[in-house]
Amino acid sequence: MEPVDLSTVGKSPVMTIAWKGELPGELVLLDQTKLPAEEVYLDCRTVEDVFGAIRRLSVRGAPAIGVAAAYGVLVGIQHAKDAELGSAFDATVARLAESRPTAVNLFWALDRMKRTFEATAGDEPSRRKRRLLEEAQTIHEEDRRMCADIGRHGAELLADGHRVLTHCNAGALATGGLGTALSVVYTAARQGKKLSVYADETRPLLQGARLTAWELSRADIPVTVICDGMVGTVMRQGRVDAVIVGADRITARGDVANKIGTYTVSVVAARHGVPFYVAAPVSTFDFDIVNGDDVPIEERSAEEITEGFGSRTAPYGVSTYNPAFDITPAENITAIITERGVIENPSEEKVRSHFSRD
Catalytic residue numbers read 248
Please compute Rg for the chain using Cα positions.
20
- Is 61 in contact with 72 (CB distance < 8 Å)? no
**Long-range contacts of 85-91, Cβ-Cβ distance < 8 Å, separation of 24 or more:** 85/125, 85/128, 85/129, 89/117, 91/47
Helix axes 125-155, 104-119, angle to 10 degrees: 140
Q: Checking phi first, is residue 111 left (phi over 0); if not, alpha (psi -120 to 50) or beta?
A: alpha
The span from the CA of 135 to the CA of 285, in Å, is 21
- CA atoms within a 13 Å half-sphere pointing along the CA-CB vector of 159: 4
What letter represents residue 258's amino acid? N
Q: Which of 147, 157, 222 is nearest to 181 (CA)?
A: 147
Give the CA angle between residues 153, 156, 162 to the nearest 5°: 130
Q: List the strands of the sheet with 41-44, edge to edge.
A: 17-21, 25-30, 41-44
Pairing of strands 196-200, 223-226: parallel
- Of all helices (H) and strands (E), which one includes residue 226? strand 223-226
Pairing of strands 335-338, 341-344: antiparallel
- Is 187 in contact with 307 (CB distance < 8 Å)? no
Local structure of 95: helix, strand or coil: helix
Residue 13 Cα to chain centre, angstroms: 15
